[in-house]
């Protein structure tokens, strides 16, 4: 299946390719350009600043980015090989626009951080709410097109305010990070794990039935309940737990918004029924 670039995200594979000095494919560059236009109002200026330490307004940065892409093509023709974005950008500001006198090679991990910041949560490293919405919409559209199935998990830490208020906000942040790691380790690589907001998480499970989703959800619930977290003694029962709601498309909902709403309803049903559990629509 060919992915629609406007519904894609900055995948780690894409970012790794962008960091190479030998150049990127036209498909990758098209995805990056669409994301730059669509995702973040300040991404042009932030990206250029990260790579060059030159600060421009967003309009100026956007204009420079377009010229860098043109410069990339021209360099490729002159050198008879594809040239990477990082190389073209530094050459542009050194030899064409004369803004840099002593260019430095930007390390790949710095480049990756700049690109990932547009789609990831700064604390947990999970995908952010905006990316989650795009990814879920993409999966719903795929299911409609190919008569497929997907499931959505909405998870919320039980009694998190109690943990946060008793142990402090730093301890609360550490807890969120540890829980994020456990969720990520429990699901498949193809699944999308996002921080939905606060202590709430979302997991998009492509090509997954309700039965399969409940198995994964209950595995997450059990793994967190069995894990030893710092200062968990202050929590009810002396442990950290999580509740989860499960909804499946198109069985439980006919569009993205309805799917999120249904998973949310199941989450709060799990909360009302005693917490530390995962419930689907028929439970």
Q: What is the CATH number of the domain that holds 258?
A: 3.30.70.270
**Do strands 278-279 and 242-249 pair parallel, antiparallel, or not at all (unpaired)?**
parallel
| Whether 165 and 258 share a structural domain | yes
Q: What is the pLDDT of residue 11?
A: 47
Which of 116, 148, 173 terminates a domain? The answer is 116
Per the CB < 8 A criterion, the answer to whether 43 and 149 are in contact is: no
Task: State the Cα–Cα distance between residues 226 and 146, nearest whole angstrom.
Answer: 39
Q: Kindly tell me if the per-residue pLDDT of 39 is higher than 80.
A: no
How far is the CA of 29 from the CAs of 5, 32, 33, 84, 216, in angstroms?
10, 5, 6, 10, 35
Structure tokens at 80: 């008879």
Task: State the Cα–Cα distance between residues 182 and 164, nearest whole angstrom.
Answer: 19
Flag whether 78 is in a domain: yes
Higher per-residue confidence, 12 vs 247: 247
Q: Kindly tell me if the per-residue pLDDT of 12 is higher than 60.
A: no
| Whether 144 and 269 share a structural domain | yes
Flag whether 124 is in a domain: no
Q: Which domain holds residue 105?
A: 5-116
| Whether 150 and 26 share a structural domain | no
Per-residue confidence band for 69, with pLDDT thresholds at 50, 70 and 90: confident
Range with the poorest average pLDDT among 27-31, 59-63, 234-238: 27-31
Q: Over range 65-92, report the average pLDDT.
A: 80
Per-residue confidence band for 276, with pLDDT thresholds at 50, 70 and 90: very high
| Whether 170 and 230 share a structural domain | yes
Those residues with Cβ within 8 angstroms of residue 62's Cβ, 6 or more apart along the chain or in another chain: 44
Q: What is the pLDDT of residue 222?
A: 98
Instruction: Give me the number of domains the chain comprises.
Output: 2
**Catalytically annotated residue among 199, 200, 251, 282:** 199
Q: Over range 147-153, report the average pLDDT.
A: 97
Tens digits of residue pLDDT in 83-123: 777 778 778 888 777 665 554 545 555 555 655 666 788 89
| Whether 21 and 96 share a structural domain | yes
Q: Over range 4-22, report the average pLDDT.
A: 45
Q: What is the pTM of this model?
A: 0.65
Q: Over range 134-158, report the average pLDDT.
A: 95
Q: What is the pLDDT of residue 72?
A: 83
Which residue's structure tokens are 């956007």? 62
Tens digits of residue pLDDT in 194-239: 999 999 999 999 999 999 999 999 999 999 999 999 999 999 999 9
Which of 83, 116, 149 terminates a domain? The answer is 116
Which of 70, 94, 116 terminates a domain? The answer is 116
Structure tokens at 18: 């962008």
| Whether 134 and 108 share a structural domain | no
| Whether 232 and 253 share a structural domain | yes
Q: Over range 240-266, report the average pLDDT.
A: 97
Per the CB < 8 A criterion, the answer to whether 229 and 153 are in contact is: no
Flag whether 123 is in a domain: no
How far is the CA of 112 from the CAs of 14, 108, 119, 131, in angstroms?
10, 6, 11, 16
| Whether 170 and 238 share a structural domain | yes
Per-residue confidence band for 35, with pLDDT thresholds at 50, 70 and 90: low
| Whether 51 and 153 share a structural domain | no
Flag whether 121 is in a domain: no
Catalytic residue flag (residue 199): yes
| Whether 95 and 155 share a structural domain | no
């Amino acid at each position: 299946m060919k992915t629609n670039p406007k519904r894609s995200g900055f995948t780690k594979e894409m970012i790794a390719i962008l960091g190479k000095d030998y150049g990127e494919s036209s498909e990758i560059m098209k995805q990056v350009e669409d994301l730059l236009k669509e995702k973040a109002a300040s991404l042009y200026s932030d990206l250029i600043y990260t790579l060059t330490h030159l600060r421009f307004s967003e309009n100026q940065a956007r204009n420079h980015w377009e010229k860098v892409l043109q410069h990339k093509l021209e360099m490729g023709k002159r050198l008879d090989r594809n040239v990477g974005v990082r190389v073209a950008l530094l050459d542009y500001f050194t030899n064409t626009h004369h803004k840099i006198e002593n260019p430095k090679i930007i390390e790949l991990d710095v480049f990756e951080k700049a690109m990932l910041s547009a789609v990831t949560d700064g604390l947990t490293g999970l995908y952010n709410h905006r990316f989650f919405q795009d990814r879920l919409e993409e999966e719903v559209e795929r299911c409609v097109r190919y008569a497929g199935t997907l499931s959505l998990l909405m998870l919320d830490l039980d009694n998190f305010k109690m943990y946060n208020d008793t142990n402090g906000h730093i301890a609360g942040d550490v807890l969120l990070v540890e829980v994020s790691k456990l969720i990520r380790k429990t699901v498949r690589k193809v699944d999308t794990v996002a921080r939905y907001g606060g202590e709430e998480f979302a997991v998009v499970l492509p090509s997954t039935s309700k039965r399969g989703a409940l198995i994964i959800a209950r595995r997450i619930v059990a793994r967190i309940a069995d894990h030893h977290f710092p200062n968990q003694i202050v929590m009810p029962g002396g442990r950290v737990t999580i509740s989860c709601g499960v909804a499946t498309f198109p069985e439980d909902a006919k569009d993205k918004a309805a799917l999120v709403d249904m998973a949310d309803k199941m989450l709060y049903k799990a909360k009302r029924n005693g917490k530390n559990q995962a419930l689907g629509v028929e439970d």
